[in-house]
Amino acid sequence: MIKYTYKIVGLDCASCAKKIEDSLNKDKNLNNVVVNFATSRISYETDLKEHFSYVNKIIDSVEPEAKMIDNEKVKKEYHFLVLIIALVSALIGYFDFKFHEVFIIISYILLLYNPIIKAIKMLIKSHTINENLLISISAIGAYFVNSKMEGIMVSALYLLGKILEEKAVNKTRDSIHDLLVIKEDYANKKDGDTFFKIPVEEIKIGDILCVKKGEKVPVDGVITLGKAKFDTSALTGESELIEIKKGEKVLSGYLNTEEKIMMKSTSIYKESTVAKILELVENASDKKAVTETVVAKFSKIYTPIILILAILTGLLLPLFSNLTYNESIYRALTFLVISCPCAIAISVPLSYFTGIGVASKNGILIKGSNYLDNLSKIKKIIFDKTGTLTTGEFRVLKIEVLDKKYKEDEIIEILRKGESFSNHPIAKSILKLSNKKIDTKDVKEYKEIPGVGIFFKLKNKVVKIGTKKVCDDDCPYNVSIHLNIDSKHIASILIDDGIKKNANLALASIKDMGIKTFMFTGDKEENARTIAKNLNIDEVYSEMLPTDKYKKYENIENNQITAFVGDGINDSPVLKRASIGISMGDFGSDAAIEASDIVIINDDLLKIPLGIKISKYTSLVITENLSFAILVKIIILLLSLFGITSMWFAVFADTGVTLLTVLNSLKIVLKFKKKD
């Protein structure tokens, strides 16, 4: 089956998108249908040739106002002119003269034409009730209970609210879109001695491209000529420029801030870093959080229940009070207007998508709102050591000479002679201590014991280089190797396996959030415990195989949301098993993308606590929106039943609250706006 993605317009709320999605997924000719309200996109898989009209026909039967288009540019119509004409007509009709009733009716027709048509289509085609029917019934009912001007104002304020709401929603979408403008539209391709512009989609692997100052790198590649400083903030969230020179890798989305460079493409656009990021972010809301799913299901049954309650209110209030049926019907109509669920149905998915967009701008790719939601609930985080907390590249920090008969240069020469026969990473770090040529003619009877050290004779002296087991006496250093000559401890060499930059700050920030930390590694226990102690990690497990990590994860999780942070290759089984799998390192690793739920584009561990903060703040905004919307509706509902409020308050409880909650969602963008 082939996957297709199109723009979908006419979606009033997330519940509308959900209804379309559910109906299309029931069709046997379509697979994996996703209707994303936040991005106004629809994607599906099918083998049908005439699929476009086929899908649109199903959409029309479910949501008549929605339709799929293949043109990205959509003219936005806010119906301002209709609103103005209707209000002018109502104002004329307000004055008592022979034909004033005609102007009032004209105003009603202009204001209610669209809501009534939409409501009728929904009833006939999909047998569902939405807010258009509630508003139409309320306004027409107001006319017949002699509250004509209130009916007009309810309709007018509702239309105004929808106009402002649409602008606010589009503002939110535009804000998210602005966060993700990382694609270069064209490339300067070399052909002989000339250059010409081509769309990035036409770039082939091996093409020679020129990236000028102020241009973004179009696809992933390697610099073949020149060097420049690049702004990588669009991908990594880091404002500090990095210098990349000939022979080094550049990723699509990097912005050249200096002179032009030449590069050779190593990917086509669809497989480039930028394309993968955009696809992940655009599809991120497809995996919906529990809150979002509950709200969508609730909205489907909410409106019919409200309509039934309103009918009961209008019929029963006179039986239990001194109200006339005229008064009780008015209160029932007010009840209908208040009860529209738009604020809840729209603000929740938009909040999640905004959080995902902000995280992406900061170099944190979150594959779904469910993962964003779970980030705020993490109780435990397990880190792989090598490649995650450490670079895996050993380096010598210090040489402690214990026997004054030897100078440091002599010790370095002895160490390099022996380690030149070993392929161990520590051996490589010792060889870097000097650039002198190594003469190993005097090295005899060389032997290496894995996990212990190396043994050899040097000018008839027995030399041992290795762990504490090699030495005859205790040594105060943990992460170190030792030099023993003729059974005497000569020197200790302090080794650091390269704890990553910001690792200490990241772990401290995570622990401040009350999250328990663990470390898994295949390394020896001595090294593992030293790294864990330096990073203040709560529990450490060493000398583990991939299967050991998988089993130990299940023991640690214990029905609590537990994240696993790994490099996305060797740790892929645990990344897939974890509540939240977080992969670190080069985004180009397909294994990292596939296995994990969250991808950190660079190696900055501080992105993990930042992602948790974004998740917590997004959850806070959602709670604020839901609490505010529900509280206002309940208060005004109760007041309307006692006749204290009118339809004017009811409109605020509907469209006003919706507008405020949508605008409140934009706080997430402002809170985590990247400071350059």
If you write DSSP's letter for every residue of 518-540 in order, what string do you get? EEE-SS-HHHHHHHHHHTT-SEE
Q: What three-state secondary structure class fits 32?
A: strand
Q: What would the two tokens of residue 513 be?
A: 């959030």
Side-chain half-sphere exposure of 537, counting CA atoms within 13 A: 26
Task: State the Cα–Cα distance between residues 633 and 641, nearest whole angstrom.
Answer: 12
Side chain identity at residue 543, one-letter code: E
Q: Which of 265, 134, 276, 298 is nearest to 190 (CA)?
A: 265
Is 634 strand, coil or helix?
Answer: helix
Length of the chain equals 676
Cβ atoms of 251 and 587 within 8 Å: the answer is: yes
Write the CA distances from 655 to 305, 630, 659, 666, integer angstroms.
20, 13, 6, 17
Rounded to 10 deg, the angle between the 148-179 and 657-665 helix axes is 10
Query: Helix, strand, coil % (nearest 5) of the chain?
Result: 50, 20, 30
Q: Which of 66, 68, 64 is nearest to 128 (CA)?
A: 64
Burial class (CB in 10 A: 0-12, 13-18, 19+), 534: middle
Any idea what DSSP says for residue 258? S
What are the E-state strand segments in 48-182? 67-69
- The CA-atom distances, in angstroms, between 181 and each of 151, 216, 283, 372, 507 are 45, 11, 16, 22, 32
Q: How far apart are CA 22 and CA 154, in angstroms?
A: 33
The Cα 651–Cα 648 span in angstroms is 5
CB-CB neighbours of 282 under 10 Å: 20
- DSSP code for 364: E
Catalytic residue among 207, 384, 567, 654, which?
384
Region label for 628, one of left (φ > 0), alpha (ψ between -120 and 50) or beta (otherwise): alpha
DSSP, collapsed to helix, strand or coil, labels residue 150 as helix
Active site residue 27: no
Residues designated catalytic: 384
